[in-house]
Amino acid sequence: RVAGGATAMVSHDIEAAFADLERSCTEWKFRAEEHEHQNTLLKKELQTAESEFAQLQMELERREGAAEAAISSLQRQIHQKEADFSSLWHQHEQAERQLSGSCARTTLLEQEKSSLEQMLVDAKADHDRVQSEVDTFRQQHAALQMEADQRLRGLEQE
């Protein structure tokens, strides 16, 4: 009887241990599935972030190219305006020597000079504005790169 009681008690303990083990296995399996689901979501998030980053990178490159082309165009215009101004100023000087008594012609040339100077000022202002936009795009690119790097580090740590 004593041996039978001890056997029943050991059998009960073994069954309880198996039940605890089964519960633990179920709980760990649930946690593993939950982690797998989280990993899947994070991978999708990472893919989305990488895609968005690539699109932003392409847009930045496109805008930088457009800004550089605009700057180059403005610089050519400035050089042309300077050459035009130089040419007009030379014409003005010749006309002033030839027509020393003609105030009307001199006034006209001074107006043209003023107009060209204003055009030069405007062109330089446009150049500065475009350069500022290029600087802003570069800063945005750097911020996006840092954010992407931080996300990647965060995902790698998880």
Q: Tell me, yes or no, if the pTM score tops 0.75.
A: no
Q: What's the angle, vertex CA 125, arms to CA 137 and CA 70, rounded to 5? A: 50
Largest CA distance in the chain: 143
Q: How confident is the model over 24-49, as pLDDT tens digits?
A: 999 999 999 999 999 999 999 999 99
Q: How far is it, in rounded angstroms, from Cα 140 to Cα 144? A: 6
Q: Which carries the bigger pLDDT value, residue 158 or residue 35? A: 35
Residue 3 has pLDDT above 60, yes or no: no
Task: Report which residue type is found at 10.
Answer: V
Q: What is the pLDDT of residue 114?
A: 92
Tell me whether residue 131 is exposed, middle or buried, using C-beta atoms within 10 angstroms of its C-beta: 0 to 12, 13 to 18, 19 or more. Answer: middle
Q: What is the pLDDT of residue 31?
A: 94
Q: How confident is the model over 116-130, as pLDDT tens digits?
A: 899 999 889 988 998
Residue 2 has pLDDT above 60, yes or no: no
pLDDT band at residue 95 using 50, 70 and 90 as cut-offs = confident
Backbone angles phi, psi at 135, to 5 degrees: -60, -40
% of the chain beyond a pLDDT of 90: 53
Give me the residue label for tokens 């003005």.
92
Residue 1 has pLDDT above 70, yes or no: no
Question: Distances in Å between the alpha carbon of 17 and those of 8, 23, 29?
Answer: 14, 10, 18
